[in-house]
């Protein structure tokens, strides 16, 4: 399953509207903590088929801000969201983003 990079509010709307469980990752390409969390995210995706998307927070700031506004969840980076039926079912950030944490969230 391919991972999409979201560059616009329209792409975000389209991704959120899709049925089923999906992961949304907010990534800062200049932050070592974000790089570590992104690697955990990628490791999870290698072994599991789940729809996913990434927002690069510096490059696509309006899209990143729209996530915080839409779901009323304070922006952090790195940050991951489990979405289902247009709602956030789980989210976490920083060092709490691990392959095991993602796996547990998806298997609840």
Q: How many residues would you count in the chain?
A: 108
Q: What digits encode the pLDDT tens for the residues 38-56?
A: 999 999 999 999 999 999 9
Q: What digits encode the pLDDT tens for the residues 73-98?
A: 999 999 999 999 999 999 999 999 99
Strands 79-84 and 87-93: antiparallel
Which CATH number applies to 3-106: 3.40.30.10, 2.160.10.10, 1.10.10.10, 3.40.50.10160? 3.40.30.10
Tokens matching residue 41: 């995210």
Whole-number average pLDDT of the chain: 95
Nearest to 50 by CA among 10, 95, 98, 4: 4
* pLDDT band of 2, cuts 50, 70, 90: low
Where along the chain do its domains lie? 3-106
Q: Contact, 86 vs 17, CB < 8 A?
A: yes
Tell me how far apart the alpha carbons of residues 18 and 11 are, in angstroms, rounded to a whole number.
11
Q: What pLDDT score does 31 carry?
A: 95
Phi-psi group of 20: left, alpha or beta (phi > 0 → left; psi -120 to 50 → alpha; rest → beta): left
Phi-psi group of 44: left, alpha or beta (phi > 0 → left; psi -120 to 50 → alpha; rest → beta): alpha
């Amino acid at each position: 399953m391919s991972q999409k990079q979201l560059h616009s509010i329209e792409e975000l709307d389209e991704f959120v509207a899709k049925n089923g469980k999906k992961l949304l990752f907010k990534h800062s390409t200049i932050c070592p903590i974000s790089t570590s969390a992104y690697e955990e995210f990628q490791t999870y995706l290698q072994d599991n088929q789940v729809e996913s998307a990434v927002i690069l927070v510096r490059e696509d700031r309006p899209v990143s801000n729209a996530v915080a506004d839409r779901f009323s969840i304070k922006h952090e980076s790195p940050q991951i969201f489990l979405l289902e039926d247009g709602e956030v079912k789980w989210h976490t950030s920083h060092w709490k983003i691990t392959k095991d944490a993602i796996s547990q969230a998806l298997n609840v």
